[in-house]
Amino acid sequence: MLYDTGARRAEILNMRVDDLDTRSGTIDVTGKGSRPRTIAYGNSTAVDLDRYLRVRGKHPRAATDWLWLSQNGQLSASAFAQMLHKRGAEAGIGPVHPHQFRHSFAHAWLAQGGQEQDLMRLAGWRSRTMLNRYGASAAAERARNAHRIYSPRDQL
């Protein structure tokens, strides 16, 4: 969900079951400044989410509104961070932080030819400043890949 939507940690942790629309592949979130928006998720995430919801239905606290549960109810920021660190270690990539997924989402979106305006809306950004900040981390890589496609000499 983090990588596929680019949602912020707080947006993920505050998701409620009723915020999901599994038919349309969207979920309502509340972003910075208490600004609501609807984000989309893809087919692969939908499959994973469906699997999670089936397991979640057997959880002792399944009746609670929170989408993401821990043993005690709503998944906390601390438990979330611990889980990500553990999964990063298991994958052999070291410590993983939630915000890295937001950067990776933005980079992947732009690298695959996604429109900047769409990315801004999906990420909840009102200014191009954030687009430039998030896109800068991998802009050189995207430029080299674009050159492979649009090389003036290769076009002759």
Neighbours of 142 (CB within 10 A): 15
pLDDT tens digits for range 30-77: 988 899 999 999 999 999 999 999 999 999 999 999 999 998 899 999
Rounded Cα gap, residues 63 and 82, in angstroms = 25
Report pTM.
0.84
pLDDT tens digits for range 63-117: 999 999 998 899 999 999 999 999 999 999 988 999 999 999 998 998 888 888 9
Name the DSSP class of 65.
S
Domain made up of 2-150: CATH architecture: Orthogonal Bundle (1.10)
Residue spans per domain, the chain: 2-150
